[in-house]
Amino acid sequence: MLRYFAQLRRFSSKKSDFSFVTTPIFYVNAAPHIGHLYSAVIADAIHRFNGLLNDPSGPSLFSTGTDEHGTKIQQAAAKHSVPVATYCQQISDQYRSLFRDFNVEYSRFIRTTDDDHADAVQSIWKALEASGSIYSAQYSGWYCVPDETFLTDSQLKENDQGVKVSVDSGHPVEWTEERNFMFRLERHQADVLHWIKGCEDRVVPGKFQKILLDFLEEPLPDISISRPQARVSWGIEVPGDPTQSVYVWLDALVNYLTVAGYPHPEFGQRWPPTVQVLGKDILKFHGIYWPAFLIAAGLEPPRQLLVHSHWTVDNQKMSKSKLNVVDPNERASLYTHEGLRFFLLREGVAHSDGNYSDTKVMRILNAELADTFGNLLSRCCGKALNPEGIVPTINPEVFNELGKLEITKKMLDLLHALPEKCLSHYRNFNFYLVVDSVIQVLHATNNFFETTAPWKLKAPEQRNQLNTILALTMEVLRQTGIIMQPIVPQLSGKLLDKLSVSRHRRLWRDLHGQFDRKQRSLAEIDAVLFRRIVPPKVEEVKEPKSKKVKKRN
């Protein structure tokens, strides 16, 4: 019954250390908003975490880009009275600029107007054709121009004005009759089902995997994968038929193959994607059509899909008509790029819509980045306590005395558990839980700092006590700085620079063996950890300020 069952079994047994993370490519019919940025920073955090586990210079790939073909793009360019190519370039450049400013370190920014992408699209078309998965037919049905898709009767409803619209998007539809090329989707339905069920966390969170399985309970209709050139001229030509252009969603999905080098020899070492990040609105395209296309072409589907929910604004759906679309660049001028990136990863959860509000942004940035993270670093490296800005050497006798305090025990217990907890949270894409765990340790460390009151230790004979308190506090900052790199790379980098942590000592493996509660031999700890007398602080690295965020007028 399963045409590609043996092939899929072979695929699933393939092991590789290669990391390939993708965002969806973003449609250039409008400027980017925080929803687009959210997809990008999620993927960037995953990619950076993968680099921490291995070596950032190791084999990895991270792609993002822009989707630039189709009717909506033609219409948007006409609305702005510019040539289509010029319009696409302008909007694509906005995405590049946005991702650069928010430290999204992609390996490839792909555009569907790139030459190698057109080659990949035509190559996959030929592979689908060779497999017998494509046929030509007269097609009629309700077509939604904004969504670029045909819809069945069950996907339609009438709005308040009595106009037929899409149930999912609310966009109007029009009746269309035309000759198209069709893809035999039902033929590959069982294989798609096998792919989804073949891995417990194939699609996460689990609620989205269930949605896909519900889709697959009924026979899937074949789908149109081309449009007449006379209607959609801005697209890639169907091989062998200049009267047809490739359907924009097939064209767009192939971008991941293009990035991996399809159909060239290097493709085999880069495929399949490790995890593909996407919004819930494009789940069906990535969770059913995409694996069906790949299986039909004899290619392995992605290892995992990470589906995230959307953002509301002050508990209302974000839309142009409500004038509440959040411009990331405008908000970054208020809260900094790093601050807004932190907020999205700290507040966003994949399974439910997040709610954006300026009040919440200011509260979180002040409480966590300024008062907790930045303030602790400022106090440790302040001129009054640590004028040379170094990590001092621990004194074993003082450490033994400090270890008797409950506040010290709590801090060290939390620190000892932190790497393993955060490792699990990162692997489950729960960035907010990473932050929760880090903030818990930092709160305990702030309490330790307040309780031990190092600012009172001014006498020469108290120097060992002062140094030990500073060393313990700065070690917490070192570990939390390493852990937070995928979430706030710029801030973490400055913190680790301030502590003079070598660029080669910022990987996940550098977290371990520092404070083992079971072998708290101070001589051992001193040898392992605190024999790191670091040079004076680098002058060009500015000390992070703990100043609270204020909303500008």
CA–CA separation, 301 and 292 (whole Å): 8
pLDDT of residue 108: 97
Nearest to 360 by CA among 17, 11, 34, 23: 34
In CATH, the number for domain 358-521 is 1.10.730.10
Q: What is the DSSP string of 318-347?
A: --TTTT----HHHHHHHH-HHHHHHHHHHH
Every domain range in the chain assigned CATH 1.10.730.10: 358-521
pLDDT reported for residue 513: 46
Rounded Cα distance, 426 and 431, in Å: 6
Residue 5 reports pLDDT greater than 60: no
Contact 414, 480 (CB under 8 A): no
Pinpoint the residues of the chain covered by CATH 3.40.50.620: 19-133+184-308
First vs last Cα of the chain: how many Å apart? 65
* Per-residue confidence (pLDDT) for residue 22, from 0 to 100: 98
Q: What is the mean pLDDT of residues 5-22?
A: 62
Burial of 519 (0-12, 13-18, 19+ CB in 10 A): exposed
Q: Which of these, 88, 86, 84, 82, lies nearest to 27 by C-alpha position?
A: 88
Q: Are 1 and 186 in contact, with CB atoms under 8 Å apart? A: no
Q: Give CA–CA dist 49/483, Å, rounded.
A: 9
How do residues 232-290 score in pLDDT, each as one tens digit? 889 999 999 999 999 999 999 999 999 999 999 889 999 999 999 999 999 999 999 99
Give the architecture-level CATH label for domain 19-133+184-308.
Answer: 3-Layer(aba) Sandwich (3.40)
Query: What's the per-residue H, E or C state across 113-151?
Result: CCHHHHHHHHHHHHHHHHCCCEEEEEEEEEEECCCCEEE
Per the omega criterion (within 30 degrees of 0), is the bond before 205 cis?
A: yes
Cα angle 327-331-334, degrees, rounded to a multiple of 5: 160
pLDDT, one tens digit per residue, over 140-180 is 888 887 777 788 888 899 898 888 999 888 889 999 888 99
Output the pTM of the full model. 0.88
